[in-house]
Amino acid sequence: MIRDVAQAEFAQSVVERSREVPVVVDFWAAWCGPCRQLTPALETAAKAREGDVDLAKVDVDANQALAQQFRVQGIPAVKAFKDGRVVDEFTGAVPPAQVERFFDSLVPSEADRLVAGNGAAPDEAALRRALEVDPRHAGAAQALGRMLLARGDADEAVEVLAPFEHDFAAAGLSARARLTSEGDRLNPAFEAWDAGDPATALELLQQAFAGAVDGDKRDRIRQVMIAIFTELGPDDPLAREHRRRLSTALY
């Protein structure tokens, strides 16, 4: 969808709409030569992704307050909105190939769509296919790892998650799988985590960490807790409390 947007409808047509699909906003003016160069590339990219990305065109002369609000200092200025906020931007008449890459970065990949499952939980085949399409897709590895752990295939979960040690959530799941394979008695903590009870899971993990002597085991328990912190988010009070306790226990 391509539309001209003014101040009155910006909140609805851009900010709220971006919670459904990404919205690319082109801040332009009629007197701007580079804007006229860029517009065809933006429109071509938007039309090629009809239904996946919207293009909103804002005339800065007629909507100066919007330009000031979003700190537009030069035009053309292009800003991409997702989930109600700006997630990417560029200024100037960039080449069409760069415009295409900009739009591509906003559209879910085939692997993303497989993991999303069209609103339903993806099945195992879809997750395995997602990793074939994109072997670096951490979300697919995490979802498949959880599925394997749920049915007791801890060794395969370790194998699936091994390439994603840089990702806190995947590393935590991998550490959990290793602890499970080694026979550590942490199932009550893991069951609480799976049941959506992070408070109980973290308390049990803190106790296990305090009682562990082996360095490798302590590190794996730490990784599991960090994965839960990551799920809760940096500002969550429970995560802050247990992060502080873990830090104290480490030092």
Q: Are residues 127 and 246 in the same domain?
A: yes
Q: Are residues 114 and 94 in the same domain?
A: no
Q: Are residues 132 and 53 in the same domain?
A: no
In 48-113, at which residue ranges do the beta strands (DSSP E only) sit? 54-59, 77-82, 85-91
Q: Which two tokens stand for residue 90?
A: 């560029």
Q: Are residues 114 and 221 in the same domain?
A: yes
Which CATH number do you get for residue 23?
Answer: 3.40.30.10
Cα distances from 40 to residues 18, 23, 37, 76, 199, in angstroms, run 22, 17, 7, 13, 53
Q: Are residues 120 and 214 in the same domain?
A: yes
Sheet-wide strand order for 2-4? 2-4, 54-59, 23-28, 77-82, 85-91
- Residues 1, 32: contact at Cβ < 8 Å? no
Q: What local confidence, expressed as pLDDT, does residue 45 receive?
A: 92
Q: Are residues 63 and 8 in the same domain?
A: yes
Q: What local confidence, expressed as pLDDT, does residue 115 receive?
A: 86
Q: What local confidence, expressed as pLDDT, does residue 155 receive?
A: 92
For 141, phi and psi rounded to 5 degrees? Answer: -65, -40
Q: Are residues 16 and 35 in the same domain?
A: yes
User: How many H-runs (helices) and E-runs (strands) does the chain carry?
Assistant: 13, 5
* Domain termination residue (choose one: 56, 75, 104): 104
Q: What local confidence, expressed as pLDDT, does residue 182 receive?
A: 80
Q: What local confidence, expressed as pLDDT, does residue 119 receive?
A: 57
Q: Are residues 24 and 147 in the same domain?
A: no
Task: State the catalytic residues.
Answer: 32, 35
Domain total of the chain: 2
Q: Are residues 82 and 131 in the same domain?
A: no
Q: Which two tokens stand for residue 121?
A: 């939980």
Q: What local confidence, expressed as pLDDT, does residue 11 receive?
A: 93
- Residues 157, 177: contact at Cβ < 8 Å? yes
Cis-peptide, bond into residue 135, ω within 30° of zero? no
Domain that holds residue 124: 110-250
Q: What is the pLDDT along the chain (251 residues), one digit of tens a residue?
A: 889 999 999 999 999 999 988 999 999 999 999 999 999 999 999 998 888 899 999 999 999 999 999 999 899 999 999 989 999 999 999 999 999 999 988 888 888 888 887 656 778 999 999 999 889 999 999 999 999 999 999 999 999 999 998 999 999 999 999 999 887 789 999 999 999 999 999 999 999 999 998 999 999 999 999 999 999 998 999 999 999 999 998 87
**Amino acid at the residue 29:** A
In 19-169, at which residue ranges do the beta strands (DSSP E only) sit? 23-28, 54-59, 77-82, 85-91
Chain-centroid distance of CA 129 in Å reads 20
- Residues 192, 204: contact at Cβ < 8 Å? yes
* Domain termination residue (choose one: 56, 83, 104): 104
Q: Are residues 38 and 140 in the same domain?
A: no
Q: Are residues 69 and 16 in the same domain?
A: yes
Q: What local confidence, expressed as pLDDT, does residue 118 receive?
A: 60
Residue showing tokens 């065109």? 57
* Domain termination residue (choose one: 104, 124, 158): 104
Dihedral of the CA atoms 200, 205, 206, 212 (nearest 10)?
150
Which CATH number do you get for residue 185?
Answer: 1.25.40
Q: Are residues 83 and 158 in the same domain?
A: no
Residues 30 and 147: their CA atoms lie apart, in Å, by 55
